[in-house]
A and B are shown apart, each in its own frame.
Chain A
Amino acid sequence: MNLGKIYKNIFLVIFLGFVLSACATQTAQKIDSQIQGDVYTGTDTVEYLADGVPDRVFFATNESVLTTASRETLRKQASWLRKNSEITVVLEGHADERGTREYNLALGERRANAAKDYLMTYGISSSRISVISYGKERPVDSGSNPLAWSKNRRSVTVKAN
């Protein structure tokens, strides 16, 4: 009887273990599907400048390199800007909270300029684009976790007029 109880307990522990690990993999997968190589690939925070024209691009930690997906987004923005030649934009560069304030201001500026340079190579005049860095001052997600940080490392194109 005693042995039976022990077996029961072991079974329960193993069972609980399975349940827990199943939960863990599920959340991990959910995060995985939204972050690729440290860059946010989800759409939770994305807004649209026009139909099919996302307003923002995302960056890896400490990086200002544009990913393939970011370049595609910026090409869509460029073609929208070409069609709407009266529109001017502000590119707002941001960093996550895992860096010193002053360095993050510089990093945000560098990210917004990476986006600006790309728009310019697609024929948008620099006179239509201004740039501002908010460093880590204006996160979209107040979480303290890798997913939240990935959403906050961004350059957002905002209509200025």
Chain B
Amino acid sequence: MINKKLLLIILLIFFPFKSLALIEIDITRGNLNPLPLAVSSLASTKSDKEKLKKDLNINDLGLEISKIVENNLKKSGLFNPLDKEAFLQKPDIAHLKPRFEDWALIKAQALITGKVNLEDDKLRVEFRLWDVLAGKEILALAFTTVPKNWRRVGHIISDKVYERLTGEKGYFDTRIIYVAEEGPKTQRVKKLAIMDQDGFNTKYLTLGNELVLTPRFNPTNQMVTYLSYFKNLPRVYLLDIETGIQEVVGDFAGMTFAPRFSPDGKKIIMSFAKDGNSDIYTMNLESRIVEKITNHPSIDTSPSYSPDGKYIAFNSDRSGYQQIYIMESNGKNVKRISFGNGLYGTPVWSPRGDLIAFTKLHKGKFYIGVMRTDGKGERLLTENFYQEAPSWSPNGRVLIFYRETKTDSKGEGFSAKLWSIDLTGYNERLVETETDASDPSWSSLLSN
């Protein structure tokens, strides 16, 4: 009896739940020990490899897709993809039946294997996620797509793996819309640009003839609302990404700015400036009905809906300085929520609904931070000379924003770049773009 108890205790000490443990990652805190995992190249038959090489001009598509997965998972800060040089098993064999001892030997805790082949001119992709220590398959999926979507294949695999191992949806099969910038600081040329979340497939949506600012996606990622100085009349515009058709939103006798979509995509909420006073308005895109939401002699701007559409967070200087307020979506029950030292701007409601991200200016420094929707629990994630305009990843775990550098004594050395940081305050990263960039906005997940 005593012996049995002792044995159990010894077992628990030496094998702490190992046999039960399927891999699991806690993403609620900064992860200093990213999970080591192996992403095997996706295997193809020899003839398909030849054909894919001819069609897409890519030597080894399976390898390229696996690199996309590695890159995504590495940048999340939660995973440590192992060097392929160390892999002992061939991709096609590993996909059928991994030799778990071989993968455990190189310290991989998880293994991703797959196949990519052509079927009626479509890509057929199959992948599996293996728990190396438990010695079993924990996820298997197959799907088909058109060959030119091959980068998205890598992103979808990344999302599925992330979801299986963290318990939360991923954010890799997404795009960023932003403002591409070039030229001297006093005469910047700005264009709307869109790219995959990992910086690939950049496309420019405007030519740079007029100043454009603050683009934001609609919930289905097909439309963008932004501010354009077309004909020197700063107005909120709507752009259909596929057709390229643009139109002015509403018929306002003055500047409209700071637009965003409502969570159902039916309305645009924005500021309208008239006679030195900015108030918040909505316009229904179907009925064209315009509603005035705030009515105050102060500046009211940067509105952002809660994900359920019931509340609006916004920026106002009605207290004398820029602070963050929330109100009901009809404009009633306005409540100030920011009370810390300094100025607060650009509130953005988290897609999970529980937090509001903001920009804070205090003692000459700019911060990106988050607070709860009642203003409590303020946490500053990053400090810099200048940074603002956070936008949430669709799973509410990462923020993207832009940062500008200080110029030197000659006024030179200016740059604007996109950066991302985890909600934990860890894993700050430069998001690479072809040109200088600002005003990023993260799309929702393109698939599922």
CB of B314 to closest CB in A, whole Å: 10
Which residues in A have their C-beta under 8 angstroms from that of B346?
100, 102
* Complex interface bits, A74-117 against B, C-beta within 8 A gives 1, otherwise 0: 00000000000000000000000111111101110110111001
Which residues in A have their C-beta under 8 angstroms from that of B302?
100, 102-103
A138 on the B face (CB < 8 A): yes
Which residues in A have their C-beta under 8 angstroms from that of B273?
105-106, 109-110, 133
Whether the Cβ atoms of B276 and A137 lie closer than 8 Å is no
Give A79 to B411 CA distance when docked, in angstroms. 36
Interface residues in B, total, Cβ within 8 A? 46
Quick one: which of A117-161 are within 8 Å of B by CB? 117, 132-134, 137-144, 148
B195 on the A face (CB < 8 A): no
B255 on the A face (CB < 8 A): yes
Taking CB as reference atom, which chain B residue is nearest A102? Answer: B258
Whether the Cβ atoms of B271 and A106 lie closer than 8 Å is yes
Interface residues in A, total, Cβ within 8 A? 30
Q: Which of A97, A114, A142 has the most CB of B within 10 A?
A: A142
Beyond A64-B276, A105-B234, A132-B232, is A110–B299 a contact (Cβ under 8 Å)?
yes
* Complex interface bits, B349-392 against A, C-beta within 8 A gives 1, otherwise 0: 00000000001010010000000000000000000011011000
B186 on the A face (CB < 8 A): yes
Beyond A139-B185, A144-B406, is A103–B276 a contact (Cβ under 8 Å)?
no
A62 on the B face (CB < 8 A): yes
Whether the Cβ atoms of A137 and B345 lie closer than 8 Å is no
B275 on the A face (CB < 8 A): yes
Taking CB as reference atom, which chain A residue is nearest B259? Answer: A102
* Complex interface bits, B321-339 against A, C-beta within 8 A gives 1, otherwise 0: 1100000000000000000
Give A143 to B277 CA distance when docked, in angstroms. 29
Beyond A109-B278, A113-B275, A132-B232, is A102–B315 a contact (Cβ under 8 Å)?
yes
Task: Pick the residue among A98, A105, A117 that contacts B255 (CB under 8 A).
Answer: A105
Which residues in A have their C-beta under 8 angstroms from that of B299?
103, 106-107, 110
Whether the Cβ atoms of A133 and B255 lie closer than 8 Å is yes
Quick one: which of B425-448 are within 8 Å of A by CB? 438-439
Task: Pick the residue among B186, B211, B258 that contacts A142 (CB under 8 A).
Answer: B186
Whether the Cβ atoms of B345 and A148 lie closer than 8 Å is no
Give A137 to B345 CA distance when docked, in angstroms. 18
Give A74 to B322 CA distance when docked, in angstroms. 28
Task: Pick the residue among B258, B404, B411 that contacts A141 (CB under 8 A).
Answer: B411
Whether the Cβ atoms of A103 and B213 lie closer than 8 Å is no
CB of B368 to closest CB in A, whole Å: 11
Q: Which of A64, A101, A117, A139 has the most CB of B within 10 A?
A: A101
CB of A84 to closest CB in B, whole Å: 22
Give A107 to B414 CA distance when docked, in angstroms. 23
Whether the Cβ atoms of A142 and B184 lie closer than 8 Å is yes
Whether the Cβ atoms of B407 and A143 lie closer than 8 Å is yes
Which residues in B have their C-beta under 8 angstroms from that of A105?
213, 227, 234, 255, 257-258, 271, 273, 301
Give A98 to B343 CA distance when docked, in angstroms. 11
B218 on the A face (CB < 8 A): no
Give 12 A-B pairs besides A99-B345, A106-B257, A132-B234 with Cβ atoms closer than 8 angstroms: A98-B386, A102-B315, A103-B317, A103-B345, A105-B255, A105-B301, A113-B276, A132-B232, A132-B255, A133-B234, A139-B186, A144-B406
Identify 24 residue pairs between A and B in the complex whose beta-carbon atoms are under 8 Å apart, listed by A's number.
Answer: A62-B317, A62-B321, A97-B386, A97-B404, A99-B361, A100-B322, A100-B359, A100-B389, A101-B439, A102-B257, A103-B317, A105-B255, A105-B271, A106-B257, A106-B273, A107-B299, A109-B273, A109-B278, A133-B273, A134-B211, A138-B187, A139-B186, A141-B186, A143-B411
